[in-house]
Structure formats: C-alpha cells, structure tokens
C-alpha cells in the first residue's frame, strides 16, 4: 500500500513539473542578420525543413563567432531561409535550416544585415528542458519570473567547449539554487554567466 501511495506522489510531482514546463516554456528567440536562432528551443509555429548545415573544418570555438559562421555556411547553399534550429549536444556545429510558410496577407521585405525586419511570429519559441531544467540560450522567457540570483563559471574553468560550458553553468546553478526552474544565459558572456530564475 505504501508503495502505491509513493507511486501516486511521484506521478503527481512529475505532472506538476510537466505543468511548470508547459506553462513557462514559451520564449522569444534572438535573431542575427535576419536569421532567427533556436538554441535549446524549437519554433512555436509550423515550418518546413530545407536541409542541414554543419561547421567547416576550421571554425570558431566561441558562441557568437560560431553562430555567424553557421549563418555564412547556410547562405552558401540557401538564399531563402528564416531560421536555424541548432541540434542539442553538437556544440552549435550542426543545425536544421528552416523556412516558415508564407503569410498570404503579409508583404515580405527581403534584405540582408541588421536592418532586415524579422516577423515577430518567427521568433516565438518553446524551450526544451535539459538536465531537468530549462536553459534559455539565445532566447528570453516570456512568462513572469523571479530572479533567484546570478552565476558565473569560475576563472579556473578554462574549457571553451560549448557543451562543457553549458553543463558547468547548469551544475553551479543547481548546486546554489535548489528550487530553480530555469537559467537564462547572458548574451555576449561566452556562455560563462547566467541568471537563475523561478517562474511565478
């Protein structure tokens, strides 16, 4: 009988956790040079898959230069695309190239560079839980949250590996803040700083 109650309690906790994710997984993805970036997230709207892109043999090892490199790699083969979905566990070195279905009522403005307009609908994203929490990277949560604190990788942690940097931020965050729901990687920090949050 005790095991039956324990199972019910475990299932209830799992459902509550799933509820937290389902209600708070929405985000606004960042864009660069007119390309929407989905990192640790997926598009919230329908799209079509156009292909995949991988890093060249000699590619940067830091987040921002690597994203720029991947956009350039994609533009060698595809003139028309809207976003890149970076595959988890690949260190930003492999991504799916996607294009949204056109809105028949919208006038599409084409161009390149920072002045290109990005449809706000294209930036709607859903975070994908990793290691038991949500990691907002190249995106911002849209749900209300409370800031629990800030974390930073120690100076002794010298790795430049993107997957190792993410794992270290998650480890430190979980160690310091037991009731966290997510971490938001600070843009431009080289994946070395994050805000630890709890949803309201």
**Cα–Cα distance between 121 and 161 in angstroms, integer?**
32
Nearest by Cα to 183 from 171, 195, 175: 195
Per-block mean pLDDT, blocks of 10 residues, the chain (200 long):
43 41 84 97 97 94 95 95 96 97 64 67 95 93 97 94 96 96 96 97
Rounded to a whole number of angstroms, the CA Rg of the chain reads 19
Distance CA 196, CA 199 (A): 10
Enter the pTM of the model.
0.83
Gap between the Cα atoms of 65 and 97, Å rounded: 18
pLDDT on residue 131: 85
Give the position of tokens 């695309």. Answer: 81
Give the model's pLDDT for residue 20. Answer: 46
Query: Rounded to the nearest 5°, which phi and psi values hold at 133?
Result: -140, 170
> What pLDDT is recorded for position 30?
97
- Dist CA 182 CA 24 (whole Å): 10
Tokens 């709890």 label which residue?
198
pLDDT for the residue numbered 103: 72
Euclidean distance between CA atoms 16 and 30, whole angstroms: 29
The residue written with tokens 């533009």 in the block is 75
């Amino acid at each position: 009988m005790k095991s039956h109650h324990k199972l019910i309690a475990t299932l209830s906790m799992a459902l509550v956790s799933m509820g937290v994710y389902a209600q708070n997984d929405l985000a606004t993805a960042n864009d660069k040079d007119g390309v929407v970036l989905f990192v640790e997230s997926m598009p919230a709207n329908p799209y079509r898959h156009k292909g995949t892109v991988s890093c060249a043999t000699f590619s940067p090892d830091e987040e921002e230069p690597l994203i720029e490199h991947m956009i350039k790699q994609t533009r060698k083969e595809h003139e028309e695309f809207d976003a890149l979905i970076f595959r988890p566990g690949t260190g930003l070195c492999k991504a799916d190239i996607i294009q949204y279905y056109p809105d028949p009522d919208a006038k599409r403005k084409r161009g390149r560079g920072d002045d290109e307009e990005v449809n706000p609908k294209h930036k709607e994203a859903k975070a994908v839980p990793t290691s038991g929490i949500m990691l907002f990277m190249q995106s911002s949560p849209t749900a209300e949250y409370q800031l629990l604190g800030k974390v930073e990788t120690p100076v002794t942690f010298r790795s430049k590996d993107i997957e190792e940097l993410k794992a270290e931020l998650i480890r430190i965050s979980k160690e310091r803040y037991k009731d966290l729901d997510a971490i938001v990687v600070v843009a431009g920090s080289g994946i070395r700083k994050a805000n630890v949050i709890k949803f309201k």
